[in-house]
Amino acid sequence: MLTVSRLVAVFILLALFDYDYGTTAGRATFFLVFVGAALTDLVDGTLAKKLAAESALGAFIDPLADKALCWVSLWIIWQLCDIAPVARILLVPVYLAIGGYDLVTTGLRYLKSRGFKLEMRTSHLGKVRTANIFVTLGAVFFVEALRSSMSPLLECVATVAFCGAGVWIVYLTYQSGRQYLLTARPWEVLWPSSASAA
């Protein structure tokens, strides 16, 4: 249920961005909806375990809901860069790292759903990575909500902090993706003869 609410929140965020993001109240509402959606990711897995409500469908949909929330937020941040297109250059490495990771992990989950025997489990590092992405996105939207009352110096400090967070996210994404691949070892399943020969 919480996973579904996160998916619903994605559409609410898109509507808020289209219709009311230009006002301080609209940006504040957007920030609060994003925080509420991100917090559901912290509790839905724990609740499912405690209530013994885990399912294969839930295990597949939960990361998709995370990715939907993440990518809608990243798309919105890209749109916000219209006022400073040069800023998009700084976003490209982060978007490529997150996009590559998401494509690979979603592809592996799909292969497992088709019967391939892959060892798939979310690592602690993967959870730390996701938490860092959501905290950074939340911080961006928080700064956006306060934009009209921020001094140029504070905006500059926030921009530098976000650049540092982007570098950290790229590093976490690399380490988590490497760990994911070494655990799943898809090459041993897809090409068993070459794996045994090596």
Q: What is the mean pLDDT of residues 4-27?
A: 90
Q: Is the pLDDT of residue 198 over 60?
A: no
Q: Is the pLDDT of residue 182 over 90?
A: no
Q: Is the pLDDT of residue 196 over 70?
A: no
Q: List pLDDT tens digits, range 136-149.
A: 999 999 999 998 88
42 versus 71: the higher-pLDDT residue is: 71
Phi, psi of 173 (to 5 degrees): -65, -45
Q: Where residue 195 falls among pLDDT bands split at 50, 70, 90?
A: very low
Phi, psi of 122 (to 5 degrees): -80, 125
Per cent of the chain over pLDDT 70 is 87
Q: What is the mean pLDDT of residues 117-124?
A: 78
Note if the pTM is more than 0.75.
yes
- Identify whether the C-beta of residue 165 lies closer than 8 Å to the C-beta of residue 191: no
pLDDT at 166: 94
Mean pLDDT computed over every residue of the chain? 85
83 versus 126: the higher-pLDDT residue is: 126
- Identify whether the C-beta of residue 3 lies closer than 8 Å to the C-beta of residue 40: yes
Domains of the chain: 2-189 (1.20.120)
Q: List pLDDT tens digits, range 44-78.
A: 666 666 766 666 666 667 888 889 999 999 999 99
SS3 assignment for the chain: CHHHHHHHHHHHHHHHHHHHCCCHHHHHHHHHHHHHHHHHHHHHHHHHHHCCCCCHHHHHHHHHHHHHHHHHHHHHHHHHHHHCCCHHHHHHHHHHHHHHHHHHHHHHHHHHHCCCCCCCCCCHHHHHHHHHHHHHHHHHHHHHHCHHHCCHHHHHHHHHHHHHHHHHHHHHHHHHHHHHHHHHCHHHHHCHHHHHHC
- C-alpha torsion 88→91→95→97, nearest 10: 140
